[in-house]
Amino acid sequence: MSHRRLTGRLVIATHNGGKLREMRELMAPYGIDCVSAGELGLPEPEETGVTFMENALIKARAAAFAANLPALADDSGLCVAALDGAPGIYSARWAGESKDFTAAMALVEEKVKALGCTTPEQRKSWFISALAIVWPDGHSEEFEGRIDGVLVDPPRGTAGFGYDPCFLPEGHSRTFGEMTSDEKHGLPADGSLALSHRARAFQMLAKACLD
């Protein structure tokens, strides 16, 4: 399958400062000029999809058509096995209008504890990141990454954003909230698998559309 190469200017279809920072860091080595949907004053479209990828495509299409530029959108979230995959695509909504992820993490913990989930086996969770690039002519490219781990309580660390402090990735002793940006999503020079869900999706995107 052939992929379309991404060059020039790109809209990062987000109004989330933490997500924008990570996407700009990932794009930096490729010389892509990134501007956010927020900086362009673009409205946030209603996310009516039932999967991460459907929502990523909704956001990327809205930004690409409004700005007449290629647009990259990420839709990502925390999925908890004991909660049948919730909060999932509703991860941001669990944080409410004020985007209070401290409250969102407390809500997740409350629901998990109500089910009697105390062991790591019972607290399995994963992060998903769906990345979609859409060009003004409607062409799209789609990539999805996943990282498995467990929920920890209390949350640890102040780095990252969102649910990072309550997520301990498999095989590690520190949460995403305790890791530097390079540790969390730095792309290994040897081509081995990146750590974070977003970096794993971006590895696929870079190989297809940037390298």
Residue 16 scores a pLDDT above 90: no
Rounded CA-CA distance 55/22 in Å is 19
- The whole-number average pLDDT for the span 163-174 is 96
Please name the CATH architecture into which domain 9-209 falls.
Alpha-Beta Complex (3.90)
Nearest to 198, CA basis, from 115, 78, 96: 78
> Can you give the pLDDT at residue 185?
81
Domain map of the chain by residue range?
9-209
Q: Give pLDDT tens digits for 93-140.
A: 999 989 899 999 999 999 999 999 999 999 999 999 999 999 999 999
> Is 75 annotated in the active site?
yes
Rounded CA-CA distance 22/83 in Å is 28
Residue 177 Ramachandran class (φ > 0 left, ψ -120 to 50 alpha, else beta): alpha
- The whole-number average pLDDT for the span 185-205 is 86
Q: Give pLDDT tens digits for 61-87.
A: 999 999 999 999 999 999 999 999 999
β-strands 33-36, 9-12 pairing:
parallel
What pLDDT band is residue 1 in, cutting at 50, 70 and 90?
low
Task: List C-alpha distances in Å: 82 to 76, 77, 103, 109, 120.
Answer: 19, 15, 19, 11, 11
> Going by C-beta distance under 8 Å and a sequence separation of 6 or more, which residues neighbour residue 60?
13, 71, 72, 73, 132, 133, 134, 140
Residue 112 Ramachandran class (φ > 0 left, ψ -120 to 50 alpha, else beta): alpha
> Can you give the pLDDT at residue 86?
97
Set 75, 137, 153, 211: catalytic member: 75
Tell me the β-bridge partners of 167: 151
pLDDT over 90, % of the chain:
80
The pTM assigned to this predicted structure is: 0.92
